[in-house]
Every structure is written in C-alpha cells, then in structure tokens.
Structure 1
Amino acid sequence: MKPSVQPVTTPHDVRRFIDVPWHIAALTAAPQWAPPLRQTVRDALDVRRNPFYRTASIALWIAERDGRPVGRIAAIENAAHNEFHGDTTGFFGFFECADDPEAATALVDAAADWLGERGLTSIQGPMSPSTNYETGLLVDGFEHPAVFMTPWNPPYYATLLEQAGMSKAKDLLAYQLTFGAAGLQLPDKFAKVADRVRADQRVTFRDIDLNHFERELATCWDIYNAAWERNWGYAPMTRDEFAHMAGELRLLVLPQFAFVAHVGDNPAAFILVVPDYNVVLRRIVNGRLFPTGAFRLLMARNRLRSGRVMALGVKREYRSTGLSALLMHEVIRRANAYGVTVAEASWILEDNALMNRPLVAMGAKEYRRWRIYEKAT
C-alpha cells in the first residue's frame, strides 16, 4: 500500500506533526539524537505568535503508512528573504522520515507543489523555518552527539532527499574546539595581530547586561544585520523576530559568554556561546518542559563545561582590522578560565574563508557537516 500524505489543518494535527520524530526508530534508538523540546518546535510553527510569520507562510504535511506516521515536512514561503535577494526561492524544513523512499518523495513533492503554486521556482532546505533557526541535513559526523540547537539525523536521510530529485546547494561546517593546556592555541601571527588591534584601536569587551535587555537587544540586532547581510542564505530578521529569539535564550545564556566588542565607543562585533544543553535534553526523552524539564535545564546552566559558539559577527568595516583574531583570543581566554573542555563552532559556510582559515590555523577540527539541498519546483 502506498503512503498517504495529509495536510495539517487542525491543532490536533499540529500536535501529531510535532510528535512524528518519536515514531522514527532511527532517531529514538540513536544515542546521538537529542529529543527536541516540543514547546520550542511548537513556537517555531506558531503563525500567530512567532514574528517570523508576519512576512512568511507555512504549510505542513504528515506521511502515514498503514495508519502510522512515517514522516513529516513543512513548506515555507519567506517573503522577506525573496525581497532581500530578489529571487523566487521556496523552502522546506522540519523534515523527518523513516527509511521509506516513497514517503519521502511524496512529502518533498507535496512541499514543492505548494511552493510552485505560489509562483516560487525552486525549493531549498532543510531550514526550520529559516537560516536563523535549525538548518541543514547532517551528511558527515553522524557518530558525534548533536550539540544544542543543531540537527542530527541518520545517514539515510541524504539518500531519501537525493532520490526525491534534490542536489547539493551549500554545505555548513562545524568545528570542534578543545580547551586547556593541550587545546586551542592562537598562532603567533594571530596573537601578534590580536595584541596590535587591542593596543591600536582601543578595543574593549563588555559582557551583555541582561538587566538592560532592550538596550543590548538593539546593539546586537544592529551588529547582526551589518555582519550577516552578505552571507549566502541570509534571511533578514525584523527587530521583533530578533527579540523573540533572544527572549527564548535569555535564561539560558551565561553573561561572560555573550559579549560585545567595542572599538572606541562603537559596538563592532558580538559573540554568543551557549552551554550544550543537549547533555540535559537527552535525559528529557519525551521532549516536555514540564513538570521537571525546565528545572533541569536551569540547574545545569552553571554546571555544564561544554558549549556551542552560536554567533560570531563582525561589522564589515572592522573585518580587515584583525578584530576576529582578537575575538577568538578572548573566547579562548574566557573558556580556559571557566574550565570549558570542548565547544562546537557552527554553522560556518564551507566557502567562508575568513572564518574557516583562522579556525584551522588554531587547531580546530572540522568534525560535522550539514547540507542544504535544492531542486526546481
């Protein structure tokens, strides 16, 4: 019997859509997988409350075989992305599937058809729901546990998408950063640059003050737009969307690992490193915050000694000054002082030489890779 693909139309359907990963044995049996928080997925799909959907539309489908869910997919029209880039690209995300090529192809076709009917000429993803959220399909490094807010999937997912007619658009990289005496070391050349920048340009670092959240939000949003706007796949974020995402992370951030670099009086860069809460999420097997999940996360915040470099943005006018080297020097210093053992830097575009070369020079190892797929609608 062929799989059936049904659109999600009711709140009950949304709950079933969120529940699909727990029906995929290749996920639930894998120690590398961290069950997503159901509330986080629900928020990412919430067209009424999430500001992303003020300029975007989404449609959802669930695939079933013999009455049991075997997969899901979302199709996303991101008007802000297409207006900024001047193209007609549609997106898919939230893709999960059993090793069922018929079901996967039917899901991709449903998403592509929906986007094509809206005048979009290609489909690209996974983006759940944009590059500002979970992005990419893991294609290398399956043996490593997923780090906070990064996707993990079994190897057969790539085959499913390729059999559905999709091909590579771009790869995203993750580097493993180790700290301590035998960990990352800034090469002499970079260390000299960092020292010169600190002396010549009056560079100072300031921890983000969560007691002045609105002020800090405005500073980081300005740097974000200036630092990322020319990146491949950049999806503009309104201030409301940026504030919504920052509000979700507010209680999880350690202030000493969320800091702004000033050149003189001017905010020039910011960096955000978050603890790897997946260490805790793997123990919240049902993905529910309550009754004890939220308490576990907050209690772990100051105990975790692994993390993820989620964002490192430098305004374009400061990129040739060596400020990036100084930022990495400061991250290493703070990580060693705090007792961090390991962290991941992700996602980094495979052709972003300004980020990849310094990381390799410091001894960071590429250890995971995600792929963005695309095809014509």
Structure 2
Amino acid sequence: MTEPLSTLPLERPAGRPFDPPAELARLRAEQPLRPLIFPDGHEGWLALGYDEVRAIVADPRFSSRYELIHYALADVGQMPPAPPGDLVGMDPPQHSRYRKLLAGKFTVHRMRLLAERAEEVTKEHLEAMAASGPEADLIEAFARPVPAVMICELLGVPYADRQEFQQMAATIGGLDATPEEQYAAYAQMGEYIGKLVQAKRATPTDDVLGDLTGSDLTDEELAGVGAFLLGAGLDTTTNMIALGTYTLLRHPDQLALLREDPDLAGNAVEELMRFLTITHTGARAALEDVDLAGQTIKAGQTVALAVQAANRDPGKYPDPDVLDLRRDASGHISFGHGIHQCLGQQLARVEMRAAFPALLGRFPGLRLAVPADQVPMREGLDIYGVHRLPVTW
C-alpha cells in the first residue's frame, strides 16, 4: 500500500492566492484516493479526484456525524454531536426530518421575490459606498452587509432589529474582534434567534421561521435551524463576493467579459465557485468497509475530501487551472452533492448574480487600493477568502 501522507498539504503557491496547494494536483494525478495521517494521529484517507469525492458524498455508507469524524485541518479532539437544527452534522433519519421541512421553504416563488430584493439591497449598498468613497473595504461596505440583509429577509428579522442583527453578524465574522467578543456575539445571536422564534410562534409571518412554526419542530429546534441558516449562508457568501471580486480584479480579461455582458453573471458565478472552492476540505466517516478506487476504506476510518482538488480535476474540466467565465462549470461540488447538498445554494446564487455585475457596472474604475500581495488572506480556516479587500474607484 502507498505510504501514508504525514500531513494534508495546505500551503498555496507563492503569488497565486486563488490556486489550491500545488501538491494536491500531483497527489491527485498519482493516486486520487490515498492514506493520510490526521493531526490527531488517526489513520484515514484523502480523496482528491472528482469522481472519488463525488462518490463518497453521495454514498450512505459514509457519515457526516461530527462525533464520528476526525478533522484534517487541525487536532480539535472529538467533536460533540450536532446541535438541534444543524443538518450538516446529521445522518438520516434525523437529517431527513429537517431536510424535508426546510426544502419546501426554498420555493421558486420565494427565490424570485428574494432575487428582486437582492437587486434592491445590492443597489442600496453600492450607492452608500459611492457616497462615502472613493475608497472602501469591500467586506465591510458590501460583501458582508448584502448577504446579512438577505438572511434577515429569509428568517424574517424585523426591520427595527436589522442594524443590531448585522452588528452581531459583523462581530462574529470580523477580523478585529477578539475571541471573547466573538463568543459574546454568538451567545447574543443565539439569544436573539430564540426570542425571534417565540415572536413567530405568537404571530407567524411569511418567512422561513414563520412558516416552520406550523411544523412539529420545538422552539429549541427552530432556533437551531435559524442559527444553522445564518452560519451556512453568511460567511460563505461574504467570502465568495469578496474573493470573487479580488479574482476578477486579478483577471482583467474575465472582468471585462462580465462587465460587457452582465447576462454572463449566472455562468460566472458557477465558474468562480468551481475555481475558488472556498469550502475547500470536507470529511466523511465510513460506517462499514467500502471498496473505492482500488482501495478498501475500513469502517470507522475518516476520509478527508479535498474538494478544491476535485473541482480542478482535468478529468472533469479541461484546463482546470484557467478561469474561464464562459466555461460550462456545471457539476462542480462547491455546494456539495447528495443529501447534504447546500439547501441555500439558490439564495447564494441569487445574491452573487446580483452582486458581481452591479458592482462592476456601478464602479467602472474599480481597482485594488493596496498592492495585491498586501491583501490579507484567510489562511488555515475552513472557509477560504480575504480578511479585508481595500478597493478604490
């Protein structure tokens, strides 16, 4: 058997912040499923190929339960089971119960209304940027507040509370907040969502939490769902908007394409999702012995999923390391695959399809306000992106 990797490659190529660690491509070409020693000493596997990663996340013989999984990015010890409402860390039948209830809330009609609202919110924040410019941190001025407002729309946060809600969200995801401030903001957010659920119980409203008050979910479960949707939909979209903009600014030919043809936005979003793969590393635990790619994954072993390597697999995408907004990037697994495919993926698409062309159209001279190598990257975190994106116009 191949000698196990002693560590997961994490270092990105110098001067190429949008590319995965170069070692992953070499490893994928040699053997797309290979042994890996995890930070806690666990002897598991690393899946790097598109077919292998996609097969694992679609296979019910692999579990998403936190308490069964070892983590490839750091030794975090044994994790507790998923709290109520956190679908990511659950298997059927618990996962199925939540998923069935929530899937019906992301209707075509609701997404259409949210798309209209996303365009309004985007325009409002771009005008505010223009008024306070000609320089801004795109994270604080645009990339975080737009999805924060949209999460408010989805959950039904009252307008009077939205400034407080956004401030809590900004503290949770902010670079300058201390760990103590972030923990306090998490607690404050949890308390707020709990009170919001009680208000929805008393007077149901036309939003996801309001709709769910008619289900059999308890108050604790409803609050958990609210916290889950917030966590799943805010930091990810924030970093996609910011890192996607940074990527376009560093690829002026592709930026020009999108600026000239805003209708390309849908295609551009899929290619940026594939190219950047900000949720870069996942994991599953085998519930039984599984034969895959000529290897046997033993029951109890964890497989780390190098999603960023899978989305750059030349067997799936020709010239995968080239950003091409005209590419058919369908089939990428940045939103996952199988029963755990992202519930809110359509909302994320709605937000990004509104954000990118509107930003480039409003600021034709948009450019970095600092040298490219001074943009602070989110290294070593489970969601990749930028801490700040200073821009000017």
- The answer to whether TM tops 0.5 is no
Q: Give the TM-score normalised by the residue count of structure 2.
A: 0.27
Q: TM-score, normalised by structure 1?
A: 0.27
Structure ranking higher in helix proportion: 2
Specify which structure has the higher proportion of strand. 1
